Amino acid sequence: MPLDHPAPQDDLILRTKVDQLNDRLRHHSATDVLRVAVDAVPGLALVSSFGAESVALLHLTAMVDRDIPVLFIDTEMLFTETLVYQQEVAERLGLRNLRILRSEDVRREDPDDTLHQRDTDACCALRKTRPLNAALAQHGGWITGRKRFQSGQRADLDFFEVEAGTGRIKVNPLAYWQPGDVADYIAENRLPRHPLVARGYPSIGCAPCTSPVTAGEDPRAGRWRNSDKDECGIHFVDGKAIRLGSTTK
């Protein structure tokens, strides 16, 4: 049965709530953020790509509540390694509420799977953003694995933020983690790594739009290489980038 989605709240009310949560948890751990989020954000879900670093957040969440819905978007253009890894990690962590999302419009709008060659934004919207937005309509908030160090647009990221115009809250438990923190957590907990990491893929998306990264490059340099694009659109509203961090300033 679909979740009963709470009535959307006014952005101003949500911003006040988000600022209070951020102030309260400013110096707390990712686990503390997750525990508070489960109680403070109704209908909370985790969105995971099962990518290079995803297992850390998946493990943290599983330790707090294995019944939290985990939304995985199968774009039908993912690496085979990602699909196999997703199944292995879900079983290893005992995730009890995994939901696989796919676009219902791919065969009509991109029958020959070439849209990404002509318009990467349209392809991401078709295969990622639209199916995720449809699924998130049943939730009052969602957990992401975004971190400040990943790109310029994420530099001001905080633990909690308002997703403008949706009545939802985004929760970023790893916002203040550094690259070494992720690797250390995975190693200390003996978690399985995505097999493509060892082959030079520190950030993993769809196969046609992801390339290996060389030493010294930004970890996300292999995403949509040789273009200005560095976000798939999942963290955009109405095609516009949302400012990360507190939205009351």
Residues 39-56: tens digit of each pLDDT: 999 999 999 999 998 999
pLDDT(244) > 60: no
What separation in angstroms does the CA of 22 have from each of 26, 60, 208? 6, 19, 37
Structure tokens at 32: 């503390």
Residues catalogued as catalytic? 232
pLDDT band at 33 (very low <50, low <70, confident <90, very high): very high
Least confident span in 30-34, 110-114, 140-144, 234-238: 234-238
What pLDDT shows up at residue 229? Answer: 66
pTM of the model: 0.84
Residues 177-212: tens digit of each pLDDT: 987 899 999 999 999 999 999 999 998 999 999 999
What pLDDT shows up at residue 11? Answer: 81
CA distance 236 to 24: 27
Give DSSP secondary structure letters for 78-111: B-HHHHHHHHHHHHHHT-S-EEEE--SSHHHH-T
What pLDDT shows up at residue 179? Answer: 78
Domain borders along the chain are 11-241
Residues 107-153: tens digit of each pLDDT: 999 999 999 999 999 999 999 999 999 999 999 999 998 888 765 55
What pLDDT shows up at residue 243? Answer: 33
Residue 179: Cβ within 10 Å count: 13
Let me know if domain 11-241 sits in CATH 3.40.50.880: no
Greater confidence (241 vs 33) lies with 33
What pLDDT shows up at residue 154? Answer: 53
What pLDDT shows up at residue 124? Answer: 93
**In this structure, what are the phi and psi dihedrals at residue 9, rounded to the nearest 5 degrees?**
-100, 155
